[in-house]
Amino acid sequence: MVVRKRQTGKRATKTEDGGSSVVRKALVPDKIDLLGKEWRVLIKKENKAFGSCHHAKCEIHVNPNQSPENVRDTLLHEVIHALETEGQIKMNERQVRLLATLLLAALRQNKHLATFLFG
């Protein structure tokens, strides 16, 4: 299991129900297919973590108590951990964190690229 720990100094944007607007609006997918395996995505409070990846159960947990942008980054971060394990790629936590954040920023800044890639 890989756990992404909270960085100090970052506060979540919460709604009345305690979750982020991304989670409340049900925009986070509940299932994703990664290399032919179905993974469940659970919105679950984590102790001192933004999210975690549970390879044996094919589950990704995302803590709802963070900003919508952090929820997106966390989900991509945990997807990278899942792919890293499936592909037997050795990455350290810093590499996973940077790849998720930079990839999300690149796709956001270049929506035409995302449209082209995802057709």
pLDDT at residue 29 above 60?
A: yes
Q: Could you tell me the sign of the dihedral formed by the alpha carbons of 59, 61, 67, 70, in that order?
A: negative
Q: What is the pTM assigned to this prediction?
A: 0.78
Domain holding 37, by residue range, is 2-118
Number of domain units in the chain? 1
Assign 7 a pLDDT band (cuts: 50, 70, 90): very low
